[in-house]
Amino acid sequence: MQLDDKVVLVTGASAGIGRAIAARAGAAGARVLVHGRDEERTRLVAAEVDGFPLVADLSVGAERARLCDEALEQFGRVDVLVNNAGVGWAGPLTEMTVAQLRAVIEVDLLAALELTHELLPPMVNRGEGAICFVSSIAGRTGVAGEAVYSAAKAGVDMFAESLRAETAGTGVGVSVVVPGAVSTGFFETRGRPYTRSRPRPVPPEDVANAVLTTITRGRAEAWVPGWLRIAPAVRVLAPGAYRQLSTRFGEQVRVSPEPNHTSHEGAS
Ligand code: NAP
């Protein structure tokens, strides 16, 4: 699918990877709907890419519905949906509140599902369209300290895989882009900086290029960087060895007993 004159909605385009995707789509001749939560940043990026700002907090169901309505109102259609908006949360599950847990699921998983649910039918009716999901290596391998984020991204992956089969032959392409570490403000927002030496963070433009490639060439999946696909392959082929290695060399985040916790073991 060529993007010239197509209407492309990019969620989370007020910063990082989404901003780079919006710029690439604009350069390819698309009419870009730039979504963000922060109004000022969203307007700035929209001006940068000659696009149209749409502001909505994706952790709120009513705002997700309003975003779909406003996106469709702008040009009467959305040809391409890039589900990119996302938020992380770093630390052991036991230190996470239920509200924080729900916010990650709402933004990273539910918003992508609901936007797709609303915007896919007109694409199918027209016999043309594309939906791309920006997932994460965390959703393919699991990461200590990012259990909820990893679950959300794994959910996005399986949703996309199932939807790809459901949309076969309709003219609507479904793709997933799986980045490793990317140099954006993501780590600061999630509350823990990225300190590992490998994989070295890649620029957001690399992910944007992969997103555009999956859409324009009808590819199902892209990894950034490409060699990253080895990790989940090892996990499937040698799960015991993979778990030992990831416990030893992966993120050293562990849950610990609460200070006043009394074990029920041995209680009568
Ligand atoms: P980023 O620079 O922090 O940008 C996140 C974007 O998501 C921003 O536009 C932000 O909007 C938006 N967003 C966050 N919470 C939102 C909410 N409640 N409602 C609406 N919009 C919200 O992060 P990024 O690295 O570009 O992340 C983009 C995607 O890539 C995410 O899905 C992330 O999970 C994925 N990813 C990132 C990395 C990485 O290393 N950076 C690796 C793998 C996957 P505002 O700024 O306006 O609030």
Pocket of ligand 1, beta carbon within 6 A: 12, 14-18, 36-38, 41-42, 57-59, 84-87, 107, 134, 136, 179, 181-182, 184-186, 189
Domains of the chain: 7-249 (3.40.50.720)
Atom number of ligand 1 nearest to Cα 85:
7
Cα 85 to ligand 1 centre (Å) = 5
Distance in angstroms (rounded) separating the CA atoms of residues 99 and 106: 10
Cα 150 to ligand 1 centre (Å) = 14
Provide CB contacts within 8 A for 184, sequence distance 6+.
Answer: 15, 16, 17, 204
- Per residue in 170-201, pLDDT (tens digit) is 999 999 999 999 999 999 998 888 988 878 99
**Per-residue confidence at 87, pLDDT binned at 50, 70, 90?**
very high
Catalytic amino acids? 149
**Per-residue confidence at 247, pLDDT binned at 50, 70, 90?**
confident
pLDDT score, position 227: 94
- Per residue in 56-76, pLDDT (tens digit) is 999 999 999 999 999 999 999
Cα 14 to ligand 1 centre (Å) = 9
Cα 4 to ligand 1 centre (Å) = 26
Atom number of ligand 1 nearest to Cα 42:
47
Q: Measuring CA to CA, which residue among 189, 231, 199, 216 is closest to residue 17?
A: 189
